[in-house]
Structure 1
Amino acid sequence: MASEVNDRTVPPIGEETCDGRVSRFGVDGTGIATDEYNTALTFDEDARLPLRPRTTRIVVGLDGSKASITALRKAIALATGSHAAVQGVVAWQNPNVYGGYNFTDWSPQADALRIMDDTMEEAFDGPPPDWFTPLVRQGNPAELLIEQSRGAEMLVVGSRGHGGFAGLLLGSVSTACAEHAHCPVLVMHDEDPA
């Protein structure tokens, strides 16, 4: 094995990883080719590259159901492969009020925030990464998801949420999204692997 470096050098190769570590190629990690052209991959823990900005976005509809958690996990997997940002969307609506009286102290907005927090905790096993953006907004779930699908790479939704009837293949929200979204729509069933 030759220990001398020949006069042909490979330009330094640095490839970012998901956590920004720099991978370097070459026997000693310098990117210099040797006579044997051995390729060893090393990680320089101190070197950092700026991460590529996530310029594309995957939108995922969340309601706390098993199907929506499966949808979020699938969106995370897709985003990892495509280097896209993920936007989780929870919609909430005011309940019908009779005679101007609200009979409970229940807050649909607080419930929606709890759903977002619980879903993020379950999907990420802790705080979400910086490429995840939660959106909790008042409105019709289908209309909000269709609105958020503008400019998105993909919309991922569960097949049926908490309001779905057993035996239905698709719920009303996933059907409306599949028919009217401004991007491709992936409908996940809760038994689908993420």
Structure 2
Amino acid sequence: MGALFVVLGLIIGAWAIRSICVIQQSKTKKFGISLFAAWYFLTAGGIGDVEPLAAIVMLLLGLVVVNHFNKSSSSQNTNHKDILSEHVSALKDFDLVKPKAEKDAFRSKNFAKGKSVSGLTYVAFNYVNASGESSFRDVDVKKFDGQYVEGYCHLSRAFKTFRIDRIEGDMILRDTGECIDANQWATKMSTSNIS
């Protein structure tokens, strides 16, 4: 009977740890919760000095908690899908969805292509996001279409898109250290013919 509890404890513990690891959360939190789950199910399985009735209750309680955790986390994932599908259907109802060709036509020009020689593609600036939060960004510009700056942001270590009208103050050309107004930079990017 003791071997059965140990096997059940190992199986349920492995299931609990797998359930913990598939949820998006920090590695530290995953490790801590997994460690607790392993200790709990190994103790319930009889590795500690536990009475058989207490082991059954602990295993059943652990099963219920893990099952509830799995159901609640999977329902959160489907809620996001439901919200997105409702958003898409609302856009369609109000004719706010643009045809694909119209989107591509707007963003077809790339004024940044071939401009790395001019020193205009390595910039730094203060950027205010949609929430009103300001941050200093170092960006290697890969694309500029007249309204959006796209490139590698060193702060977030990812490719990002920035609206030119949300750049606060002057831009710094990192190659030369020159300060230039964002609108002047945009004009230089779109008018210079450096290849």
Q: Which band: TM-score by shorter chain?
A: under 0.3
Structure 1-normalised TM-score? 0.23
Instruction: Mark the structure with the bigger radius of gyration.
Output: 2
Structure 2-normalised TM-score? 0.23
Higher helix share: 2
Greater RCO between the two (CA within 8 Å, min separation 6)?
A: 1
